[in-house]
């Protein structure tokens, strides 16, 4: 394996240019001109070096739904998208609600070696919303769970939500809420409005999201706990978060790349690639979300990578599954929607897609480029522009809403723990990465 790598002439998020020397998984030199030689040299002229991206919201589907994705294929998709750490959602089968399941997911991630995998624990047993899961056992397991979520379902019972917030605040954990009032969204298929009436699809009102967020920020304030809100999708949700932050409530919020670029108009096609939870909303909502990312009301961008097999998507809208894959396209979508529109710079991208999610998820040491830190680095070509195609997808499922769209930027190299998981745009073979990982895990 290349035990040392020299990256030359990279542009850092600050705009400064310089070399990066990596040895035995650690950044040894950063910035300036290195006088060293290395086993491998990467010419990064014109490329931006970002801290390895961290996704706080990924569905890896293993155990139980391996026909859609596995820990291996999901982390290959992550690497292709420049991610070096992913937080794996709990809606697996069995549900990730015990120490045994989260440890299994954690170990599979370590073996595969493409990215750090941190399992998210379910808040309630079996995601059933009735009893709290084994939160303490998961937190104290080898998987060190810090984030708990019933994502896919809302923790709707206010008393359970209060208890969960109280419990995780004892060890600085966080509840990541999927804000969706189940009664207001029974049978809902798309954003509620003039278009849902026109298309004859049952509407999903914005208030179903906003009312849960309002309740939960007040609960978090009441018990003094940390709360995170998954996938904000409406202008009203932004207003509630802005109000809560101004009041000093300890809440963070995420937006997905698809809610930052796409609108409900795509549903006119009845193509279920555009069916997602929460649904694509109006143009006004997209602009409110973008403004909230730019002014810091929204703390992070997270993919909600939700793989589904073709039979779950190539069917009538009403019977199709909710969800979109998003790891491979996240950075190009962020560049297209936010950087090229002048709303944010590359230092903001590093914060929104790396440092802030690492901090919220309790991933110590991740999310920054620094001498002495682990070499998780993404080298991105911002000058590239291409039509996003099936060849860009590295996971098992193909349900991307961005296929056939022109997106800016391209991930050229991903380094995880100092070894390459993506080399010149191609995902490195599984056995090579597993061998690198084994050596890293053994401390060389
Ligand atoms: N975001 C999605 O549309 N789908 C998610 C879970 C969910 O329904 O939120 C999935 O697991 O498929």
Alpha helices by DSSP H, listed for 87-205, are 99-112, 135-139, 158-168, 194-199
What rounded mean pLDDT belongs to the chain?
Answer: 98
Q: Is the pTM of this model over 0.80?
A: yes
Determine the atom of ligand 1 nearest the C-alpha atom of 91. 11
Ligand 1 neighbourhood includes 57 CB (under 6 angstroms): no
pLDDT digits (tens, 9 = 90+) for 294-309: 999 999 999 999 999 9
Dig out the tokens for 292 from the structure.
């909230």
Residue with tokens 């056992």: 137
Could you tell me the distance, in angstroms and rounded to a whole number, from the CA of residue 269 to the centre of ligand 1?
A: 20
ipTM comes to 0.96
CA angle 360, 366, 367 (to 5 degrees): 80
Known catalytic residue: 304? yes
CATH fold of 52-361: TIM Barrel (3.20.20)
| pLDDT at res. 442 | 87
What superfamily would CATH give domain 4-49+374-385+405-441?
A: Urease, subunit C, domain 1 (2.30.40.10)
57 is in an annotated binding site: yes
Instruction: Answer yes or no: is pLDDT of 130 > 80.
Output: yes
* Nearest alpha-carbon partner for 81 in 393, 438, 432, 396: 393
Instruction: Answer yes or no: is pLDDT of 1 > 60.
Output: no
What is the arithmetic mean of pLDDT over 152-174? 97
DSSP state of 120: P
Task: Give, rounded to a whole angstrom, the gap between the first and last alpha carbons of the chain.
Answer: 11
| pLDDT at res. 443 | 79
Out of 19, 97, 150, 304, the active site residue is: 304
Q: How far apart are CA 111 and CA 345, in angstroms?
A: 35
pLDDT digits (tens, 9 = 90+) for 61-104: 999 999 999 999 999 999 999 999 999 999 999 999 999 999 99
CA-to-CA separations, 104 to 76, 145, 149, 277, in angstroms, rounded: 18, 13, 18, 27
| pLDDT at res. 3 | 83
| pLDDT at res. 2 | 54
Ligand 1 neighbourhood includes 276 CB (under 6 angstroms): yes
DSSP letters for 17-39: EEEEEEETTEEEEESB------S
Instruction: Answer yes or no: is pLDDT of 444 > 80.
Output: no
Q: How far apart are CA 15 and CA 31, in angstroms?
A: 11
| pLDDT at res. 282 | 98
Residue-range domain boundaries for the chain: 4-49+374-385+405-441, 52-361
Q: How far apart are CA 354 and CA 379, in angstroms?
A: 14
Could you tell me the distance, in angstroms and rounded to a whole number, from the CA of residue 166 to the centre of ligand 1?
A: 26
Q: How far apart are CA 144 and CA 114, in angstroms?
A: 19
Could you tell me the distance, in angstroms and rounded to a whole number, from the CA of residue 169 to the centre of ligand 1?
A: 26
Determine the atom of ligand 1 nearest the C-alpha atom of 277. 3
CA-proximal residue: ligand 1, atom 6 (nearest): 152
3-state SS class at 269? helix
Instruction: Answer yes or no: is pLDDT of 233 > 70.
Output: yes
Q: How far apart are CA 345 and CA 341, in angstroms?
A: 10
pLDDT digits (tens, 9 = 90+) for 395-442: 999 999 999 999 999 999 999 999 999 999 999 999 999 999 999 998
Q: How far apart are CA 159 and CA 223, in angstroms?
A: 12
Ligand 1 neighbourhood includes 306 CB (under 6 angstroms): yes
| pLDDT at res. 285 | 99
């Amino acid at each position: 394996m290349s035990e040392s790598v020299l990256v030359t002439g990279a542009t850092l998020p600050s705009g400064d240019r310089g070399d990066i020397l990596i040895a035995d998984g650690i950044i040894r030199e950063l910035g300036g001109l290195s006088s060293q030689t290395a086993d491998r040299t990467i010419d990064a002229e014109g490329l931006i070096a970002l801290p390895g991206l961290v996704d706080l919201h990924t569905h890896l589907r293993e155990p139980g739904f391996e026909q859609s994705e596995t820990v291996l294929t999901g982390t290959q998709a992550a690497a292709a998208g420049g991610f070096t750490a992913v937080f794996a959602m709990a809606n697996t089968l069995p549900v990730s609600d015990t120490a045994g399941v989260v440890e299994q997911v954690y170990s599979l991630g370590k073996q595969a070696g493409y990215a750090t995998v941190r399992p998210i624990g379910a808040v309630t047993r079996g995601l059933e919303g009735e009893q709290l899961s084994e939160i303490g056992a998961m937190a104290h397991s080898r998987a060190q769970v810090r984030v708990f979520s019933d994502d896919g379902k809302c923790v709707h019972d206010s008393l359970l939500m209060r208890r969960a917030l109280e419990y995780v605040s004892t060890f600085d954990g966080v509840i990541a809420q999927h804000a969706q009032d189940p009664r207001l969204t029974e049978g809902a298929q798309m954003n509620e409005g003039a278009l849902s009436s026109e298309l004859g699809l049952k509407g999903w009102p914005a208030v179903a999201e906003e009312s849960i967020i309002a309740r939960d920020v007040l609960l978090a304030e009441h018990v003094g706990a940390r709360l995170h809100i998954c996938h904000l999708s409406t202008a009203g949700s932004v207003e509630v978060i802005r109000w809560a932050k101004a009041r000093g409530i300890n809440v963070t919020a995420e937006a997905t790349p698809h809610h930052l670029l796409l609108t409900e108009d795509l549903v006119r096609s009845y193509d279920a690639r555009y069916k997602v939870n929460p649904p694509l909303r109006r143009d006004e909502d997209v602009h409110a979300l973008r403004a909230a990312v730019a002014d810091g009301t929204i703390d992070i961008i997270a993919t909600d990578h939700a793989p589904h097999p073709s039979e779950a998507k190539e069917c009538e809208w009403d019977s199709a599954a909710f969800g979109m894959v998003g790891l491979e396209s996240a950075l190009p979508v962020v560049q297209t929607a936010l950087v090229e529109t002048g709303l944010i710079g590359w230092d903001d991208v590093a914060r929104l897609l790396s440092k802030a999610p690492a901090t919220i998820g309790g991933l110590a040491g991740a999310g920054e480029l620094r001498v002495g830190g682990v070499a998780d680095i993404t080298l991105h070509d911002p000058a590239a522009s291409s039509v996003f195609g099936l060849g860009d997808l590295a996971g098992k499922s193909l349900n991307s809403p961005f296929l056939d769209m022109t997106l800016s930027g391209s991930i050229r190299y991903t380094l995880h723990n100092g070894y390459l998981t993506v080399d010149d745009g191609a995902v490195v073979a599984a056995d090579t990465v597993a061998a690198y990982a084994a050596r890293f895990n053994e401390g060389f």
